[in-house]
C-alpha cells in the first residue's frame, strides 16, 4: 500500500491552524505519546484528502464530506507482538470533528469524558478533541484492552489540547424525550436541500411520537431570511407563507410539513406536527435564549 509521509512542518501547520493548538510548530511525533510497555513502530504516516482512500478506502467520502484536512497515523507494538494503531483526523473545526464523530458513534455504547467525548467498543476507543477525531484500535489485547486504550487516549488528548467541550448549541436541545447520543451535526445540504447549510439535530421519542429537532445558525439575519424564502418557495401548490420572525410552517414536498421558529440568526424546526413536538420546539427556543 502506497502511503504518504510528510515532514514535521506540513503537519504542524495544520495542527496549529485547525486544531486550536499553539502556533509554535511541533513535530508530528509529539502528538503521539510514549506508552509504557509499548514501542512506536515506524514513523508517523500522514494522508491528505487526495490520498485518504489509501488508508480507509470505503469511508473516505464520509470524512471528506466533513472537510477532512489531514490524517496522522502511528502504530505501536509490545514485547508480546501485540499491536495497536492511533489515528488523528484533522477536520478543520470542532464542529466538523463532532460531525464525523457523530456520524459514526453508536446510540448504545460505553461513553465517557476523554477530550470532549469518547466511547469504547471491543478493541476500539474513539473520541473528539478540539478539531480532531481520534480513533484507537487494539488488536487481540485481551482483558487489558480497555485500560491500554484509555491510557493512550488520555495522553493524546493532553498532547492535542485545545477546546475540549461539545458544541455549546447542543445545550439548547431539551433533555425530555431526547434519544441518548442521537445528537449529530450535518455540515451541508440539510434535509437534502443545497440552500440549507449546516444544522445540529437530535432524535426524540416523546408521548409515542418520534421526530427530529434541528437548529441552524445563519451567518446573519439576511442569510436566515434568504434560506427560509427559498425553502417556502418549494411548495408550489399553495401561496408561500409570510417569512417573518417567529413561528411558521413550511410544506416541504420531500420531507413533509416543517414547523419552524426563526429568531435572529437561528432557525429551529421539528419534523412533526404533534403537540409533544411543538412543546419540544418551544422548550428549545427558551433554552437557546438562555445561552
pTM over 0.85: yes
Structural contact between residues 215 and 172, judged by C-beta atoms closer than 8 angstroms = yes
- Grouped pLDDT means (10 residues each) for the chain, 291 residues: 42 49 57 95 94 92 95 96 96 96 92 95 94 94 93 96 92 97 96 94 96 96 95 84 90 93 96 95 94 75
pLDDT at 19: 46
Please tell me the CATH code under which domain 168-290 is placed: 3.40.1000.20
Is the CA virtual torsion 5, 70, 157, 122 positive or negative? negative
Q: What is the pLDDT of residue 14?
A: 53
Nearest to 259 by CA among 269, 251, 267: 269
Domain with CATH 3.40.1000.20 in the chain: 168-290
- Assigned CATH topology for domain 8-160: Protein Transport Mog1p; Chain A (3.40.1000)
For 75-81, which contacts have Cβ atoms below 8 Å and span 24 or more sequence positions?
Answer: 75/40, 75/41, 75/42, 76/35, 76/38, 76/39, 76/40, 76/41, 76/152, 77/38, 77/39, 77/41, 78/37, 78/38, 78/39, 79/37
The pLDDT value given to residue 8: 39
Q: What is the pLDDT of residue 168?
A: 95
pLDDT at 25 (0 to 100)? 54
Q: What is the pLDDT of residue 49?
A: 96
Amino acid at each position: 500500500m502506497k502511503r504518504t509521509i510528510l515532514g514535521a512542518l506540513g503537519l504542524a501547520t495544520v495542527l496549529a491552524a485547525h486544531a486550536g493548538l499553539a502556533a509554535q510548530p511541533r513535530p508530528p511525533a509529539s502528538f503521539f505519546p510514549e506508552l509504557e510497555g509499548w514501542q512506536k513502530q515506524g514513523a508517523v504516516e500522514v494522508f491528505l484528502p487526495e490520498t485518504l482512500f489509501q488508508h480507509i478506502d470505503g469511508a473516505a467520502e464520509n470524512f471528506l464530506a466533513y472537510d477532512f484536512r489531514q490524517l496522522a497515523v502511528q502504530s505501536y507494538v509490545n514485547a508480546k507482538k501485540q499491536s495497536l494503531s492511533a489515528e488523528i483526523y484533522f477536520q478543520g473545526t470542532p464542529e466538523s470533528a463532532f460531525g464525523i464523530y457523530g456520524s459514526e458513534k453508536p446510540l448504545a455504547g460505553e461513553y465517557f469524558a476523554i477530550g470532549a467525548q469518547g466511547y469504547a467498543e471491543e478493541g476500539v476507543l474513539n473520541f473528539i478533541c478540539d478539531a480532531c477525531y481520534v480513533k484507537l484500535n487494539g488488536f487481540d489485547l485481551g482483558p487489558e484492552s480497555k485500560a491500554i486504550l484509555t491510557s493512550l487516549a488520555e495522553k493524546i488528548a493532553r498532547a492535542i489540547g485545545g477546546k475540549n467541550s461539545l458544541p455549546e448549541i447542543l445545550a439548547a436541545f431539551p433533555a425530555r424525550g431526547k434519544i441518548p447520543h442521537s445528537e449529530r451535526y450535518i455540515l451541508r445540504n440539510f434535509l437534502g436541500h443545497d440552500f440549507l447549510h449546516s444544522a445540529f439535530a437530535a432524535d426524540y421519542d416523546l408521548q409515542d411520537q418520534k421526530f427530529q429537532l434541528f437548529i441552524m445558525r445563519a451567518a446573519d439575519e439576511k442569510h436566515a431570511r434568504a434560506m427560509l424564502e427559498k425553502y417556502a418557495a418549494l411548495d408550489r401548490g399553495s401561496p408561500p407563507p409570510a417569512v417573518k420572525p417567529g413561528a411558521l410552517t413550511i410544506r416541504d414536498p420531500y420531507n413533509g410539513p416543517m414547523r419552524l421558529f426563526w429568531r435572529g440568526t437561528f432557525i429551529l424546526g421539528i419534523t412533526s406536527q404533534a403537540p409533544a413536538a411543538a412543546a419540544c420546539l418551544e422548550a428549545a427556543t427558551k433554552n437557546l435564549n438562555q445561552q
